[in-house]
Structure 1
Amino acid sequence: MNRFKKIYNPGFLAFLLLGVLCSCSKTEVKPVSLKLAVGDRFYIGTALNSAQIDGADTSAIKIIKQHFNAVVAENVMKSEVVQPVEGEFDFDMADKFVRFGLDNKLFITGHTLIWHSQAPNWLFVDKQGNDVSRDVLIERMRSHIHTVVGRYKGIIKGWDVVNEAILDDGTWRKSKFYEIIGADFVKLAFEFAHEADPEAELYYNDYSMAKKGKREGVVAMVKSLQEQGVRIDGIGMQGHISMDDPTIEDFEKSIVAFSELGVQVMVTELDLTVLPMPNMNAGADIALNFEFKKELNPYANGLPDSINTKMTERYQDFFRLFYKHSNKISRVTLWGVSDAQSWRNYWPVNGRTDYPLLFDREYKAKPIVEKIINEDL
């Protein structure tokens, strides 16, 4: 006899159905974090500074654990920190950063292997202070990349291999890497990283990526790498944006153009300055430094409601764009947790008060966080 027929009772079935419905309604709660709200669209990440990696900034750590599922080191994995003296590696803070990511089951990005800035002084010169030969610099690159990537083989799943090699007009940045080695330094860096960990994803990362010249220059560079059989898995679009630049349309053009190369697109280093820029062509060149003037710091005592509203709307516009292209975007990473720690407070003018991130100086969520969680985009 059919077991269902044997226990069939209309009243009992109604009771069971009511229980199922009640159970569903109880578990149907709204997400309480960014990572739950974003879901499987893409990773939502943040950069960690030394205080967070060391465990001192407990308020930020609480936010990271609640809201983010990916992390990148803001500074502690850059070459000047990891190898301050040739052949002498210091992995203390880098190891702590990786341990934090592992302990909290976060996607870890290594940042960055080859960058002209924040590189140790010895890297490009000999004992007499003269530029080293092409072969010497290539060997120093190989040694650094093999040592760093090799240490975290199978642990760090993705690396920013080269950072900021192309200028806004699409031409090559005349860095020491370029001057001594030539354009091949990018190809070599990706090849060395792949040798060190054949399973790791390898990315190119740059700012002003919504500009037409930069877009075309990066596309040309990546196509050249692909034609040479070099592995490149993704392009990071640094999201250092302002209230009116770049346009959503230009940012979208770059997302599409980079995706058409067959690689992942990542929005990296996302922050939104509300302050006036002393030079609109500054991009995000960390080497730039402008004199402090009071008129460049208009919100020292707090952000007016009108500006706060416009900032929320600007962030909404970008997250709408990210959602629209979530089939192309694998990760969106904020460049910090709270406004208090942001580099925007000291770049390109030191001593200003900026409000660029999703959590304020008291570690409270801004209105945009609630908008994203409630999908009010």
Structure 2
Amino acid sequence: MSHRVALSPDPQFSHRHTRATVTVTDGAGRPLAGQEVRVEQTGHAFLFGNIGFDFVGLANDLGTTPPSSPFGGASVEAARTVEPLWFDLFNQVTLPFYWRGFEPLRGVPETDRLRRTAVWFAERGVAVKGHPLLWHTLAPTWLLGLSDEEVEHEIRLRITREVSTLGDVVPTWDAINEAVIMPVFDREDNAVTRLAQRLGRVGMVRLAVDAAQEAGRDAGRPVSLVLNDFNLSADYERLVEEVLAAGIRIDALGLQSHMHQGYRGEEYFADVLDRFSRFGLPLHLTENTLLSGDLMPAEITDLNDYVVDRWPSTPEGEARQAEEIVRHYTQLVAHPAVQAVNYWGLTDEGAWLGAPCGLVRADHTPKPAYEALRGLIKGAWWLPPTTTRTDEHGRLEIDAFAGDFRLGARGGTADLTLPAGDQERSIVL
């Protein structure tokens, strides 16, 4: 029997692999030579995410879904049905902290509801991200009557409060969302855009990042902050350059990809990934959607402007979505700068804009795209349970996608986290 357990090699993912030599010992530190050991993978190091809007009501044991997000959400009963599908694939969740809904009345935030939701996910081993700390869209209407100085003060209070009181279960945040358009946004009057016109884009990024970092330091907890935008043009590149030149520390760049008008293709994403990876920061593909029905017309400029009575998933669209999601995820995971990919919605019930962008149909059955994505995350990129035997020095080798593993032998088990790269470890069984 071989002393090595390994996935079939694929050179494009070699940077994702852990290549670990593990020495198995007894309680006295003696190597267990020739010991039969069962190795199974229990988690990915790479962040495969999805939004958790559907589960706010379920996590709070409510009979109905609360207005946690203006971007949709399934019923509590639907959430209960699709819960196993969510947790079978995803290890990171994005929760809705849209300020207008989170604090509809000044000084009365919905902290408890979102904390319970974050804890519900964290207890199930899921990394939690809050979205977003600062955004012009869905800013509270009660800000409109305040002066710019008062608005800035309220923004600092809001960011400080969320990071301070929720940072133990929400360690990662989209610090600011869509700063490129923020000073010129004209879809509605809002006080955040008004302030952005005075402070500028870099000033608004500094406001959000400084407030969040200070709150994290005061609470004694590190906070990870993402700069997030849908504008993937040179305008966003210039903003990143200016932010970094100003000495503002961000931890990752967020790149949105709502593809309601069709998959943009490998050439498009190769260009995007290369342009933004030059900054040396991890890339998070924060908002990904691919449709399994009719595509939105190409002439639509703002996705919110397309409104139809019914937008069904179709067999032809589902086949297309399944093929595209494999191509999309394969390219993203193969790129060394990409650290996280977050899909925007599990089910079509309550999906954003009513679009058939979910991986599960409105009747709660998985679409081909769900099965195709599972074939990657829990198939091609997942080490199946394997039994091996240690060598004469008590060693075995694991070559697989980096993540969490469980080793078992002689009635004992041990859990091991193995990052990417070559390493040596020792465990006691």
TM class by shorter-chain length?
0.7 to 0.9
In 1: Cα distance, 2:183 partner to 2:235 partner:
6
Give the equivalent residue in structure 2 for 1:5. Answer: none
Give the equivalent residue in structure 2 for 1:207. Answer: 230
Shift, 1:165, TM fit: 1.8
In 2: Cα distance, 1:89 partner to 1:242 partner:
33
Q: Does 1:329 align with 2:338?
A: yes
- Structure that is richer in helix per residue: 1
Structure 2 residue ranges without an equivalent (≥5):
1-32, 62-75, 187-192, 381-429
Shift, 1:334, TM fit: 1.6
Q: Which amino acid aligns with 2:206?
A: K
Q: 2:85 is matched with which residue: 57, 63, 75? A: 63
Q: Does 1:303 align with 2:314?
A: yes
Q: Which amino acid aligns with 2:211?
A: F
Cα displacement string for residues 303-339 of structure 1 (whole angstroms, at most 9, x for unaligned residues): 13x33222211112101211211x2112111212211
Contact kept? 1:43, 1:69, Cα under 8 Å: yes
Cα displacement string for residues 73-128 of structure 1 (whole angstroms, at most 9, x for unaligned residues): 1x3x21112222223323132112211122112110011111111111012323xx
In 1: Cα distance, 2:286 partner to 2:58 partner:
19
In 2: Cα distance, 1:173 partner to 1:341 partner:
26
Q: 1:292 is matched with which residue: 299, 308, 331? A: 308
Give the equivalent residue in structure 2 for 1:370. Answer: 371
Cα distance 1:123–1:248, how it changes in 2: closer, same or farther (>3 A)? farther
Give the equivalent residue in structure 1 for 2:272. Answer: 254
Q: Does 1:320 align with 2:330?
A: yes
Q: Does 1:111 align with 2:131?
A: yes
Give the equivalent residue in structure 2 for 1:84. Answer: 104
Aligned with 1:160: secondary structure?
A: strand
Cα displacement string for residues 221-263 of structure 1 (whole angstroms, at most 9, x for unaligned residues): 1221111211111111122113634232222222222222121
Give the equivalent residue in structure 2 for 1:145. Answer: 159
Shift, 1:176, TM fit: 2.7
Give the equivalent residue in structure 1 for 2:169. Answer: 155
In 2: Cα distance, 1:116 partner to 1:260 partner:
28
Aligned with 2:118: secondary structure?
A: helix
Contact kept? 2:89, 2:374, Cα under 8 Å: no
> Once superposed, what is the RMSD of the aligned Cα atoms?
2.8
- Structure that is richer in strand per residue: 2
Cα distance 1:280–1:150, how it changes in 2: closer, same or farther (>3 A)? farther
Shift, 1:177, TM fit: 3.4
Higher alpha-carbon deviation: 327-336 or 142-151:
327-336
Cα distance 1:52–1:197, how it changes in 2: closer, same or farther (>3 A)? same
Q: Which amino acid aligns with 2:284?
A: M
Give the equivalent residue in structure 1 for 2:60. Answer: 54
Q: 1:181 is matched with which residue: 187, 192, 199? A: 199
State how many pairs are aligned. 317
Shift, 1:202, TM fit: 0.6
Cα displacement string for residues 52-76 of structure 1 (whole angstroms, at most 9, x for unaligned residues): 4435321122222222111111x3x
In 2: Cα distance, 1:202 partner to 1:99 partner:
20
In 1: Cα distance, 2:248 partner to 2:263 partner:
33
Q: Does 1:40 align with 2:45?
A: yes
Give the equivalent residue in structure 2 for 1:226. Answer: 244
Alignment of 1:333-348 (within 5 A): 333-345=342-354
Shift, 1:171, TM fit: 8.6
Give the equivalent residue in structure 2 for 1:120. Answer: 140
Aligned with 2:324: secondary structure?
A: helix
Alignment of 1:162-173 (within 5 A): 162-167=176-181, 173=185
Give the equivalent residue in structure 2 for 1:348. Answer: none
Cα distance 1:249–1:47, how it changes in 2: closer, same or farther (>3 A)? farther
Cα distance 1:291–1:88, how it changes in 2: closer, same or farther (>3 A)? closer
Contact kept? 1:52, 1:58, Cα under 8 Å: yes
In 2: Cα distance, 1:171 partner to 1:280 partner:
24
Contact kept? 1:266, 1:331, Cα under 8 Å: yes
Cα distance 1:280–1:235, how it changes in 2: closer, same or farther (>3 A)? farther
Give the equivalent residue in structure 1 for 2:360. Answer: 359
Aligned with 1:143: secondary structure?
A: helix
Q: Which amino acid aligns with 1:289?
A: D
Contact kept? 1:52, 1:61, Cα under 8 Å: no
Cα distance 1:86–1:59, how it changes in 2: closer, same or farther (>3 A)? same
Cα displacement string for residues 268-322 of structure 1 (whole angstroms, at most 9, x for unaligned residues): 12221233324535354xxx334537xxx5x64x513x33222211112101211
Q: Does 1:97 align with 2:97?
A: no
Structure 1 residue ranges without an equivalent (≥5):
1-15, 127-131, 346-353
Shift, 1:370, TM fit: 2.9
Q: Which has the higher contact order (CA 8 A, sep 6+)?
A: 2
